[in-house]
Structure formats: structure tokens, C-alpha cells
Structure 1
Amino acid sequence: MTHALTTGGDRGYLRIATEEAFATREQIDAYLRMVRDGSADQGMTSLWGFYAQSPSERATEIIERLLDLGDRRLADMDATGIDVAILSLTSPGVQPLTDVAEATAMVARANTYLAERCAAHPTRFVGMTSIAPQDPAWSVAEIHRGAALGLRGVMVNSHTQGHYLDEPQFDPIFRALADTGQPLYIHPQTLPDAMIGGLIEAGLDGAIFGFGVETGMHLLRLITTGIFDRYPDLQIAVGHGGEAIPYWLYRMDYMHKAGVRSGRYAKLKPLKKDFFGCLRENVLATTSGLPFPPAIKLMIEVMGEDRVMYAMDYPYEYVADEVRAHDLLDIPDTTKKKLMQTNAERVFKL
């Protein structure tokens, strides 16, 4: 331990953690039902067949922490010096549910509950609205309702039963984001069956690799189909170091332009703004699950110091020394304050 972790800004900044999960009992029970009745896909069975059923210490502690939006969570924040948590319904939200009425009712209750807990702890909790993209029109109304409740962004857990937000039926969701001025956060979920291949048997389907591959692809689908040409002020955040896109950025930009010139792919069209412009003006990346100084410095160098935000990834990663790793980053103090505090304040309008 190099230094004590306390709240209140004793290091010159507050710590705002921007990808912090919660769950409802109703949600977990729905996942367990799907795993047991065989309606869950392979990835969800792998992930929630473990977390919702395993007696292991990791699984039981994570479920207990997910379900707590009160004293235990606040104590965990205090113990690691987290001043504010930006909360969202844990992945995959209600997006795997095939009964649309069940999905919309469940997520509406979760959003109302989250807003109530944020109101109970207004200096510690900030919430994001979760939606059911299965019903885009309902999701538009829920984005507006969430904004009226005081929620400060919109969470989507990547694909919805194999469908991605670049598909035209989801465009009203982006219009609602534009109308409310709220950011979209794309969080990973398990890969759809069409994509999961041999990852489960290799133990690579979840956060170790599969999550980042699938979510990075989702963001690339949006970029390459011109989402930021249509909505030039839209802000989209992704976690886990930008799901590796900052590292690959030069090659992705080069090959996209080569693909456009060649006419090889019908969906690849010229963009008003290239990949570098998108990442520096419209995409935000968080450090959730990646408290690794070389990766954080790379994100800041590639995307700019205004585009990177701190996140803990609670409760899936809850490690005090990961907070200290951020505190000890060898970057200018002004940049560190942006990373830990003021970028989140700007993005979520705190």
C-alpha cells in the first residue's frame, strides 16, 4: 500500500467511477429461469449459469454487491476513496428477454428504483437509464422518462439478441439521445451464438476476451455506417480501454479508407470524419477493468485528455490497489483531474 484512499479530494481531485453495476433480484431471477429452461444462449448460460448459481466466494460476493444500493456499496466506495459512482443495470440488462412486455416492465422498474436510490444519496450516486431495444419506440419514451427522473445517460449492453444499433430500426434511439443531449454507454455482454465459436471451451468468452471483441465490433459498426455523420454531437462511451480500438486505430482507419476506395464492401461508405476524428470528438473511453498505466497513457495520447474517464468496474473488479494505480499515474496533474473527475462531470452534466 502506497497511500490511504479517502474521499473528499485530498489528492486534488474527486474520484468519479463511471461504469459501476447494480442488479435487481427480479433481473437475476429472470436470468436464472432462462438458464434453467434452456432459453438462454450459450454465452448467457456460461456467464449467468455461473454467477446466478455458483456457491463460490466470487459469485456470491458479486451478487450480494450487485443487489446493494445502500450501506454496503457506500462502505465499499468509502474504503477505496470513490466519491461518486455512475450506476447502471448490470449486463445484459433485459436485452436477452424475448417477452417484450416482460422486458420493458422489468427495466422500467429498475430505472425507477435507481432514480430513487440516486435521490436518496445525491452526492454519491448518479444513474444511467437502461432500455429495451427490442422495442425501440418504448425505449425512446423511456430515455425521455429517465432524463426527467434525473438519470444522466443511457446504457445499452451491446447486441440485442444478435441485433446491433447500426440497424435502421434503432435510429429513433439515437434521435432521443440527440433530443435529450445524453451520452450512450455501450457495455459488453456475452457474444451471440453466431459469433461465439470456440471461445467457451477455451475459457475466453467473457471479460477475458470475448466481451471486448464483441463490443469493439459494435462501436465499429456504428462508426463505419456513419452514426457521427448523422448525429455529429452524439457522444458514445465504451469501457475497458476503449475495447482495444485506440491501440488498433491507425490500422482500422487505414483499412477502412482502403475498403471504401476499393468498393469491396457495399456497407463501407466515405465518412465526413475519419476514425481519428470520431475517437477525438465523439467517442469516450473508460479505464474500467484496465488500471494499467501503459494502456491508460495510450488512450490519452490517441484520443486526447478530454476523452478518457476513470471507472472501477464494481463489483466485478474491486481492488484498492487499482485505484492507487490511477492516483500514481505519471501524467500531469491537470490531466489526472480530467481523468478522475472533470471529464465525467462534463459528459454526465454533473
Structure 2
Amino acid sequence: MTTTTPSTEDSLTTGGDRGYLRIATEEAYAHPEMYELYRRHLRDGSLPDIGFNSLVGYFLGSEHPQPKSVVERLQEAGEKRLADMDRAGIDHQVLAITAPGTQVLDAREGADVARKTNDRLAEVCAEHPTRFSALAAVSFEQPDAGAAELERAVTQLGLKGLMANSHIRGRYLDHPDFLPVLEKCAELDVPLYLHPTTPPNSMIAPYREAGLDGAVLGFGAETGLHLLRMITSGLFDRIPGLRVVVGHLGEALPFWADRIDHMHAKQVASKRYDAIGPLEQKPSDYLRSHIWITTSGMPWTKPIMFVRDVVGADRVMYAMDYPYQYELSEVVEQDELPMPLEEKKEFFELTARRVFNLQF
């Protein structure tokens, strides 16, 4: 078994001195004009989304140093971000539009934000090709136009996939309306990254009243529901080339896998729900055939090793969740995961290269 030298926060460096590069695969960006648009909506109360007003209202309205620092870092993709990466030993970030992205906006505003974000991310990647890659944004409100923007972003701008910040104003990607965008992902052979946002109005009340609508629980509960809907709806059977990446160790689905399989089989047999029918595989099998999982925001060794065991080591890769969760100690903990060097290279670098077609 090949091992590496134990690391400390002081020893974190880029360049692959430990035998691998660290590629962080869920790293957030916000175009400044998007935040100006958000501020206008917050001022005039024109977006009735409770989660938007809770989440974005906090980050753009709080005077606390932590959210102010996050907002500053989200809008910067140059020297400050590169310095943070160097300090944490991060060789490469896969950038993407932060939540809620375009998905709280109408078609016109969403398309404008997506186009400007994609153009800017392409510039950033061209300026620093060894340090940054990026995923595209689209407006899902006009799926045909969204598919066209995805094609432009991938074929003309060189972006590496599509970011979906979970529900689209209360609707989910298993709905037939969104097939053009998902089919375009499969046609272009690029992954869809399913990222959390706050639950929709129809779901958020008990989370919001307890202060649990954000990353502490609401994000994961909503995004896990979204991914499971995609699986049980038969979406991956209809679009077999669709590849999905999900963060936070799979938004709890690997931990529920056996129970989901058991109860899904009972529901199919009893024909209890019109929405639940036979699939080509067990629900948990799609975690091993169509879905990849990142460790964003979940740096704890025990669940990382558990998820690797459930879905396969080749399905789990590193992410930080910058700048929301920028902790050098978490990089150190994952450097010390109990696996041989060859597997750490897969975890930190090679799986990401394959999934996102990274060629730097």
C-alpha cells in the first residue's frame, strides 16, 4: 500500500507534491450584475419566493463579516480567489453560478443572467486555463432557448457542463417541459450538476419557522427529493446518456438507498401511485450508473468512506464548496482519508477529469 506524508494546514501546497492535484468541483461564482438584479427584487418585493428572500436577503443584507466576505468572494474570480486556492492547496476549481442562480427569475431575466455569467466564466477560464473550468447557466423557463444557450456555452465557450440550482420556481427536472435541456446535456455528453437551493414555497414553512431552511437541513432535504424524483420518474431510462453530479455526499440518498429500494418495490407492486412505476434498475442502481457524488461541505471521513462503499469509489470525488465553506482543516482531513495513494489520485483528480472532460 502506497501512502503519503501526513499533511497539516501549513503544508498545503499546489502542484501535486502529494502525488495528485486537488480539483475542487463545486465552487461558486456570482456575476455582479446578478446580485444587482437580486437587490432590486429584494427592494421592491417582486419575487414571492420565500426561500429567495430568506437566503439572498440574508447574504446581501447582513452586516455580519461572514456573509459579507462570502458575497465579496463569490463575485471575484481573479487574484483573491487564486490566493485562497493557493493557501488551501487547491490546484483547480470548477466554477458555477451560485444558488438560486437563474431559477428564481423569469425567462427574460434568467436568460440575460445566464448569458452574462457564461461569457464571464469563459473569460476567467481563458485567463487562467490551468486553474479554472466552469459549468454553464441557462434559463430553464424557456427550455428550447435554454438548450441553445447550453450548446453555445459548451461548443463555443468551452464550458464543461450545466449547473441546475435545484427547483425551477417550484417545478422539478422530472417534468417533461425540461426534456430539451436534459436531452441537450446527453447529446453534448456533458454532466448536469444538481445543486441545492432553499425549498419552494410549498415545502419551506416548517423549515423556515425553525431556522432550518438553508444549508443546515433544508438544502439537502429539497435536493435529495429532487434527485429521487428524477430517478423514480424514469428520467434516466428515457435519457440513458444523462449524467448527473450531486454534492454533499449525495444529499443523503446513499444512506437511504436500501430503504428506498425496498419501499419503491412495494409501491410498484401495489400500484399505489400513478407516478411510481417499474424502472429498468433498482433506484439505488442509478447512483452507480448515472450519478456521481462530491464531498462538498461534507469533509467527515466516516461518511465519505461509507458513500464510497455504497456507490463505488469511482463515483465519489472531491469538492470544497468555496467560498461558503472555506476551511483548510477540511482539506487536511481529506488528504488523510484511509486509502492508498492511487485511490486518492482518483478521488482528488482523475474522476473529475473524466466526468468534466478536464484537459489542462
One fold, TM greater than 0.5? yes
Quote the residue 1:234 is aligned against. 242
Quote the residue 1:279 is aligned against. 287
Is 2:270 the counterpart of 1:262? yes
Is 2:125 the counterpart of 1:135? no
Quote the residue 1:52 is aligned against. 60
Is 2:111 the counterpart of 1:104? yes
1:33-44 matched pairs, under 5 angstroms: 33-40=40-47, 41-44=49-52
The partner residue of 1:28 within 23, 32, 35 is 35
How big is the alpha-carbon RMSD for the aligned residues of Structure 1 and Structure 2?
1.0
1:234-292 per-residue CA deviation (whole Å, 9 max, x = no partner) reads 21011011000011110011111111011000010100111232011111110000000
1:90-137 per-residue CA deviation (whole Å, 9 max, x = no partner) reads 111111112x21220121011011001101000000000011101101
- On the 8 A contact 2:183/2:242 being kept in 1, the answer is no
The partner residue of 1:326 within 319, 329, 334 is 334
- On the 8 A contact 2:260/2:284 being kept in 1, the answer is no
Quote the residue 1:156 is aligned against. 164
Give, in angstroms, the shift of residue 331 of structure 1: 1.8
User: Secondary structure, in 3 states, of the residue corresponding to 1:241?
Assistant: helix
1:283-306 per-residue CA deviation (whole Å, 9 max, x = no partner) reads 111000000001100110001011
Cα separation, 2, equivalents of 1:249 and 1:17: 26
1:34-92 per-residue CA deviation (whole Å, 9 max, x = no partner) reads 22222331111111111011111011100110011100000000000000000001111
1:288-326 per-residue CA deviation (whole Å, 9 max, x = no partner) reads 000000110011000101101100000000000000010
Percent pairwise identity? 48
Give, in angstroms, the shift of residue 175 of structure 1: 1.2
Task: Say how many residue pairs are matched.
Answer: 349
1:205-251 per-residue CA deviation (whole Å, 9 max, x = no partner) reads 00000000100111111100111111223210110110000111100
Quote the residue 1:145 is aligned against. 152
Quote the residue 2:122 is aligned against. 115
Cα separation, 2, equivalents of 1:217 and 1:268: 14
User: Secondary structure, in 3 states, of the residue corresponding to 1:95?
Assistant: helix
Cα separation, 1, equivalents of 2:45 and 2:72: 25
Gaps of 5+ in 1: none
The partner residue of 1:66 within 74, 78, 83 is 74
Gaps of 5+ in 2: 1-6
User: Secondary structure, in 3 states, of the residue corresponding to 2:306?
Assistant: helix
Quote the residue 2:23 is aligned against. 16
The partner residue of 1:336 within 328, 338, 344 is 344
1:2-51 per-residue CA deviation (whole Å, 9 max, x = no partner) reads 35100011111100000000111111122222222223311111111110
Cα separation, 2, equivalents of 1:139 and 1:116: 21
- On the 8 A contact 2:161/2:191 being kept in 1, the answer is yes
User: Secondary structure, in 3 states, of the residue corresponding to 2:24?
Assistant: strand
Is 2:295 the counterpart of 1:292? no
Runs of 4+ off more than 3 Å? none
User: Secondary structure, in 3 states, of the residue corresponding to 2:337?
Assistant: coil
Larger mean Cα displacement after TM superposition, 317-326 or 27-36: 27-36
Quote the residue 2:217 is aligned against. 209
User: Secondary structure, in 3 states, of the residue corresponding to 1:18?
Assistant: strand
